[in-house]
């Protein structure tokens, strides 16, 4: 009960302090918004078990570039190459889920709800419907008009060390605790070979494999992704319970069974390592921290309009 009260107070603080976001923003103008978005996510999940991870990653990548303004949804046009076509975003998928949710919402409340809010709600639903926590999402974001592939280089890379990770998060007002908690989102998801090849082939001048990897896990990764891998979609899940939202990611990290260099980097600083240990030993601590960090991250705003079609500016 105390945890619920703490989260409620935290949401109240965020919704009253960040660019007029509000828990009841659409109560009068679109009261069926949240149930409509949830239905769209549920429908997509029935046909594709990768949808939750896709939506969570999409929201994260959106918020880290120009704030949570749905700029990641915009299509490239003419000479402008949009965010979704930037190198880190080529593997993003599930855009149709947001398009379907937007279409259903527009039928109920034309021109009222932003794509950015729909994406934030869908990411929450993705976690909740995967067995994770749920939370009240502050709403009132606006959609951005600018989307540049070149800006995706600002996204934290899977090869980042702890200093780079901390800098990337702090630039967006996020703490080391937010960094560790949000990294726990890797409990859902899949990694292509290209994102962790650096750990299992030619690691450095003296070692072929990252010595921090558990030997059997390293061997498994090398079998999936051989040195001259040509299978475009080859890769591995990010934890052993990839369809369920839990704290297995942190337990595996402590065992030397993390996939990305950026995961392992969390163990290289006392503060973040202590948080990894805390979340590995307590699912409740992780869930509480994750909810607070998601609300904080999704409250980074930056848009100006309400798009009628999430793929194009008005």
- Is 242 annotated to bind a ligand? Reply is yes
Q: Which alpha helices (H) appear in the chain, and where do they start and end?
A: 2-17, 33-47, 51-63, 95-108, 115-128, 162-170, 176-183, 197-200, 215-224, 248-254, 261-265, 270-281, 283-297
- Is 186 annotated to bind a ligand? Reply is yes
What angle, 0 to 180 degrees and rounded to 10, lies between the N-to-C axes of helices 283-297 and 270-281? 120
- Is 125 annotated to bind a ligand? Reply is no
The active-site residue out of 59, 61, 192, 228 is: 61
- How far is the C-alpha of 103 from the C-alpha of 109, rounded, in Å? 10
**For 129-155, b where at least 16 C-beta lie within 10 A, e where not — what string?**
bbebbebbbbbbbbbbebbbbebbeeb
- Is 156 annotated to bind a ligand? Reply is yes
- Is 62 annotated to bind a ligand? Reply is yes
- Is 67 annotated to bind a ligand? Reply is yes
- How far is the C-alpha of 168 from the C-alpha of 312, rounded, in Å? 28
Query: 163 vs 195, 269, 300, CA distance in Å?
Result: 19, 9, 22
Q: Which alpha helices (H) appear in 135-175, and where do they start and end?
A: 162-170
Concerning whether 61 is annotated as a catalytic residue, the answer is: yes
From the centroid of its chain, how far is CA 39? Answer: 20
- Is 83 annotated to bind a ligand? Reply is yes
Cβ-contact 193, 228 below 8 angstroms: no
SS3 113: coil
- Is 69 annotated to bind a ligand? Reply is yes
Q: What phi and psi values does residue 145 have, to the nearest 5 degrees?
A: -105, -10
Containing 237, the helix (H) or strand (E) segment is strand 235-237
- Is 246 annotated to bind a ligand? Reply is yes
Annotated binding site: 62, 67, 69, 71, 83, 156, 186-187, 239, 242, 246
Binding residues for heme b: 186
Please state the residue numbers annotated as binding site for Ca(2+): 62, 67, 69, 71, 83, 187, 239, 242, 246
As annotated, the active-site residues are 61
Annotated binding-site members for substrate: 156
């Amino acid at each position: 009960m105390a945890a619920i009260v703490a989260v409620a107070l935290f949401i109240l603080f965020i919704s009253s302090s960040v660019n007029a976001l509000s828990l009841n923003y659409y109560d009068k103008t679109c009261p069926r918004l949240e149930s409509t978005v949830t239905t769209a996510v549920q429908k997509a999940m029935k046909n594709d078990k990768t949808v939750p991870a896709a939506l969570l990653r999409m929201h994260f990548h959106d918020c880290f570039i120009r704030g949570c303004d749905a700029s990641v949804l915009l299509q490239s046009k003419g000479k402008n190459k949009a965010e979704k076509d930037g190198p880190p975003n080529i593997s993003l998928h599930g855009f149709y889920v947001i398009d379907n949710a937007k279409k259903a919402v527009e039928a109920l409340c034309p021109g009222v709800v932003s794509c950015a809010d729909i994406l934030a709600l869908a990411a929450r639903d993705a976690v909740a419907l995967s067995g994770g926590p749920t939370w009240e999402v502050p709403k009132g974001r606006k959609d951005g008009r600018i989307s540049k592939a070149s800006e995706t280089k600002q996204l934290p890379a899977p090869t980042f060390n702890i200093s780079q990770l901390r800098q990337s998060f702090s630039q967006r007002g996020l703490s080391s605790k937010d960094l560790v908690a949000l990294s726990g989102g890797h409990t859902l998801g899949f990694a292509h070979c290209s994102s962790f090849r650096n750990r299992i082939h030619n690691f450095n001048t003296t070692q072929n494999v990252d010595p921090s990897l558990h030997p059997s896990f390293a061997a498994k990764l090398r079998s999936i992704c051989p040195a001259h891998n040509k299978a475009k979609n080859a890769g591995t899940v990010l934890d052993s319970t990839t369809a369920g939202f839990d704290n297995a990611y942190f337990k595996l990290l402590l065992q030397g069974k993390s996939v990305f260099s950026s995961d392992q980097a969390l163990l290289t600083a006392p503060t973040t390592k202590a948080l990894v240990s805390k979340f590995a030993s307590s699912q409740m601590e992780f869930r509480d921290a994750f909810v607070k960090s998601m609300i904080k991250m999704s409250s980074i705003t930056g848009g100006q309009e309400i798009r009628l079609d999430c793929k194009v500016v008005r």
